[in-house]
Amino acid sequence: MSSLADMIALARAAMDKAHAPYSRFKVGACVRAASGKLYAGCNVENAAYPQGQCAEATAIGAMVTAGDREILEVVLMGGGPKLCTPCGGCRQKLVEFAKPGTPVHLCTRKGRKRTVTLGQLTPMFFGPKNLGK
Ligand code: THU
């Protein structure tokens, strides 16, 4: 089985491939799916700024494309000296496929790390229950 170190290595490799010429802020994400497979993604910016995509969205897209639907663990690595927390939109994207207790490891390239849960990041999230599902 893959380890957290494997996830961090994949997030770092994805971050190194980020297309971030506008913010110069590279981000890499890795999600571990229930199948045991790991999916990584980087942020992909665009000259039309709102068209840029976050690293988490890229990783989730790869996961869903491969047929997985359940996230058990997340690593998010930002290129800066501070821990990179997921933006609001990405918290919502993670909520779709993960649970409140899902660990989210926030990392820097230099080895800083803090683990929180998705529930801590997204109290009172909007989910299927709000839709009556
Ligand atoms: N970014 C991510 O990739 N994930 C986040 O959760 C926060 C922000 C990216 C978007 C943009 O390319 C850059 O970081 C600066 O905001």
Residue-level pLDDT at 133: 87
Grade residue 101 by pLDDT with cuts at 50, 70 and 90: very high
Model confidence pLDDT, tens digit, residues 31-82:
999 999 999 999 999 999 999 999 999 999 999 999 999 999 999 999 999 9
Other beta carbons less than 10 A from residue 46's beta carbon? 12
Phi, psi of 23 (to 5 degrees): -85, -25
Beta strands, E only, 49-124:
71-78, 103-108, 113-117
Distance (angstroms) between ligand 1 centre and the Cα of 125 equals 20
Tokens linked to 104? 């989210």
Look at the block and give the residue holding tokens 């926030």.
106
Other beta carbons less than 10 A from residue 5's beta carbon? 9
Q: Does the beta carbon of 83 lie inside 6 Å of ligand 1?
A: no
Model confidence pLDDT, tens digit, residues 62-76:
999 999 999 999 999
